[in-house]
Structure 1
């Protein structure tokens, strides 16, 4: 059970880090290219959100394998764990999304 909680934290913070790091470094690249960094940051924020979740889960194929095993072999506990992992990764990505919009000044937490 402890491993489940560890994986939840890993998924949350990995997706948070992918979003924040990708957007910040993308804004740096936009600055070096002479483009507005805040606009680039917000554009990237929308584009990489789902990829942050995929990275946190370790790729999409393992998620599909768990669903396949759970549905066809009756292992519903593994499906529930996988759904919790996905929600955790989505939560980290959404928190980063909200933080970026908050720091940019166009949104509220």
Structure 2
């Protein structure tokens, strides 16, 4: 929802998931809205941090959403970061593939 709420001027939102190796999946959510200032990128995932220029009475926000996202990603043994420039703002999440689960799925598929 952040891509919709805070991607000022965005015309497109892209969501992708790609298996980049046998051990990792990368998920990204990007939009072509207004860039996040460079000085704010390092603090985006801090609790209660808000990029003031993107907040208004209409959008609100407590500054907890991205901190919660960080916690969820880390609980899955992954990591998250953001990149932003004049063309694109991209939130990128890296997740390890649970090899044991993958092997169990393959066995089930073989049986079917």
**With structure 1 as the length reference, what TM-score do the two structures score?**
0.25
TM-score where L is the length of structure 2: 0.25
Using CA pairs below 8 Å that are at least 6 residues apart, which structure has the higher relative contact order?
Answer: 1
Greater helix content? 1
